[in-house]
């Protein structure tokens, strides 16, 4: 079976996009990775409507990407903070890769440097996302890999 004969109904990219494929969702995740937890802070920083923000937070919570945790400040009603779950933190490399791509191709010469300078805490070197060989731990390009359908592939109906 070849790629074009394979069904896309169980494609992992398509399934991931069902959860995180909307612009506002990725921006919420970007902010959550950078420490934003509260509705009003997401609303103010991202600038989307309260209705859209509520919908996206509800979807991310239902998908297990965020966890709603109750808090109450003195004299106020209880509200939710939204914290990344382990599943949510596993999206961090995706967000890092999108940021790298954006710095290189969407901002380009317009930017005097990175918008967010991410560095290794221990040595101070910049952090970059790469695709690497599991055995050799060497960086790979698309020319270095071979992709073939796996056991989860299904024939297109």
Q: What is the pLDDT of residue 39?
A: 97
Phi, psi of 28, deg, nearest 5: -65, -45
- Full-prediction pTM beyond 0.85? yes
- As given in the structure block, the two tokens for residue 147 are 């992709």
Q: How far apart are CA 56 and CA 26, in angstroms?
A: 10
Please give the pLDDT value at position 3: 84
Q: Tell me which residues of the chain have a pLDDT lower than 70.
A: 108
- Average pLDDT over the chain, rounded to an integer: 93
- Return the domain boundaries, the chain: 3-144
Q: Which two tokens stand for residue 59?
A: 């979807």
**pLDDT of amino acid 27:** 97
| Separation CA 122–CA 73 (nearest Å) | 36
Strand ranges in the chain using DSSP code E only, listed in sequence order: 66-71, 79-84
User: Token digits for 45?
Assistant: 């920083």
What CATH number has the domain spanning 3-144? 1.10.10.10
Quick one: pLDDT at residue 140?
94
Sign of CA dihedral 52, 56, 57, 62: positive
């Amino acid at each position: 079976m070849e790629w074009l004969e394979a069904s896309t109904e169980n494609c992992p990219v398509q399934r991931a996009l069902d959860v995180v494929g909307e612009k506002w969702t990725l921006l919420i995740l970007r902010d959550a990775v950078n420490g934003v937890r509260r509705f009003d802070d997401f609303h103010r920083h991202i600038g989307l409507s309260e209705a859209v923000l509520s919908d996206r937070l509800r979807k991310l919570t239902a998908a297990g990407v965020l966890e709603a945790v109750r808090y109450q400040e003195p004299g106020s009603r209880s509200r939710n903070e939204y914290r990344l779950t382990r599943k949510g933190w596993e999206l961090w490399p995706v967000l890092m890769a999108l940021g790298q791509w954006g710095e290189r191709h969407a901002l380009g010469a317009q930017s005097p440097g990175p918008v967010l300078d991410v560095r290794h805490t221990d040595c101070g070197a910049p952090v970059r996302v790469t695709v690497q060989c599991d055995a050799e731990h060497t960086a790979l390009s698309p020319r270095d890999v071979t992709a073939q359908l796996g056991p989860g592939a299904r024939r297109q109906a």
